[in-house]
A and B are shown apart, each in its own frame.
Chain A
Amino acid sequence: GQNIDQPTEMTATEGAIVQINCTYQTSGFNGLFWYQQHAGEAPTFLSYNVLDGLEEKGRFSSFLSRSKGYSYLLLKELQMKDSASYLCAVHNDYKLSFGAGTTVTVRA
Chain B
Amino acid sequence: GAVVSQHPSWVICKSGTSVKIECRSLDFQATTMFWYRQFPKQSLMLMATSNEGSKATYEQGVEKDKFLINHASLTLSTLTVTSAHPEDSSFYICTYREPDTGELFFGEGSRLTVL
* A residues contacting the other copy or chain, number (CB 8 A): 24
Which secondary structure dominates chain B's binding surface? Answer: strand
Q: Are A95 and B46 within 8 A (Cβ)?
A: yes
Query: Pick the contact of A42 from B41, B101, B109 — CB < 8 Å?
Result: B109
> Contact mask B60-102 → A, CB, 8 Å, 1/0?
0000000000000000000000000000000101010100011
Interface residues on B, range: 20 to 34
Which secondary structure dominates chain A's binding surface? Answer: strand
Give bound CA distance, A98 to B39, whole Å: 13
Give bound CA distance, A45 to B44, whole Å: 14
- A contact residues around B103 at 8 Å (CB): 45, 48
Query: Pick the contact of A33 from B93, B104, B108 — CB < 8 Å?
Result: B104
Residues of B near any A CB (own CB < 8 A)? 34, 36, 41-46, 49, 91, 93, 95, 97, 101-104, 106-109, 111
